[in-house]
Structures are given as structure tokens and as C-alpha cells.
Amino acid sequence: MKIKGTALITTVDYVTRTFGEASCEEWLSQLDKETEYALRYPLASSWYPVEQMYLVPGIEACRRFTTTTLESAVRQWGAHGAERELSGVYRVLLKIGSPGMMVSAASKTWRTYYSEGKLRILDNRKGFALLRTEDVPIETPLWGEVTAGWMARALQLTNASDPSVVVSRTSKEEDSGENCFEFVLSWQ
């Protein structure tokens, strides 16, 4: 499975802004040469292996430099991604829209960021939504926390009050044999 290069750009920006330029340089220099090159020179419109060039290095940076819990750090990383990626026209649409409208668009915008899989909306009503990934071959459990951070910040950008995203990783899907993640979103 691959992720769009904008995620790599956001990751390097997050590490630099949160932990400092020296920490970012230290982190990048510790990576294998292929991953280091991809993170130093990402192309926004290119696709990159999600685990090798996004999750593993991003989680390693959080693990290495955070002074909070790892879960909190990866959620902040996800929130930073939403803050940076949802700008311009997207930001205006979020401000004039509602949390429910944002959730309704989630499954359609999935392919903007990921080369495979689906984000299915199981429930979407006032103040509550339930989403589930399908056919997503991601083995890294913390991906759910990164995504939850992104979703929570996106809810905030719609002016939702007290947004909360709880994530759980479920066992293999019966049909596809893949792990799936469920996200319970709530807001005022």
C-alpha cells in the first residue's frame, strides 16, 4: 500500500517544528538511504510505501524525541498533517460545512491519500460517526492513532466542539483476510 508524498512532506515538517532542526537531521541521518532520500526530497504527487517511508520513520521520530507518550506524539503528528494538508479551499469548505459533511466526504477523499483500501462510513449522525477501513494491509497498529489525530483535527476545523476519536484495531476481516481499523468519532 502506498501513501501520497504530501504525507512525507508533512512528516518532516512535523519533526522539524516539534523537535527542532537538529533532531530532524539526526533522525533523517539514521534512516536507510532510500527512506532518507524519499523524506528529504519527496514529491507531493508521487506514491511511497506507507509503512517503510511514512509510518516506521515517523513513529521512530516520535519514539526518539517525544517527552509525552508515544500515542500522544503520533496523534499530534496526525493532527499536524490535517492542519497542513487541509488548507486553502479545503479549509474554507470545512469552515462553512459541518462535521457530518466532513465525515460524508471521508470515503471519497480516501484515494487522495492512499493507493489501496477503502474507508467505509457505517454510521453518521449528529454528534457521532463510525468509520471502518477495508482492504488496508497496514500492520503497524499506531497507524490508527496517527489517523485518529488527523480526524480529530479535521473535526476541529469544522468548528466541532470537544471532538473525540477512539480507534480500535479489529481482527482479520472475514472476506479479505486484512486487519481493519474502526474509528468512533464524537463531537458537540
Where are the chain's structural domains? 2-77, 85-186
In the chain, the percentage of residues whose pLDDT exceeds 90 is 76
The architecture of the domain spanning 85-186 is: 2-Layer Sandwich (3.30)
Q: Select from 126, 187, 130, 123 the least CA-distant residue to 160.
A: 187
3-state SS class at 183: strand
The answer to whether 146 and 55 have CB atoms below 8 angstroms apart is yes
Maximal C-alpha separation, the chain: 47
| DSSP run (H or E) holding 151 | helix 143-157
Residues with Cβ within 8 Å of residue 178, at least 6 apart in sequence: 134, 135, 136, 137, 172
What is the reported pLDDT for 103? 92
Of residues 47 and 101, more confidently modeled: 47
What is the reported pLDDT for 108? 85
Average pLDDT, the chain: 92
What is the reported pLDDT for 99? 93
16-45 pLDDT, tens digit each = 999 999 999 999 999 999 999 999 999 999
Dist. CA 155–CA 164, nearest whole Å: 9
111-160 pLDDT, tens digit each = 889 999 999 999 999 999 999 998 888 888 899 999 999 999 999 999 99
Q: What is the pTM of this model?
A: 0.91
Residue 7: band (very low, low, confident or very high) from pLDDT cuts 50, 70, 90: very high
The answer to whether 53 and 124 have CB atoms below 8 angstroms apart is no
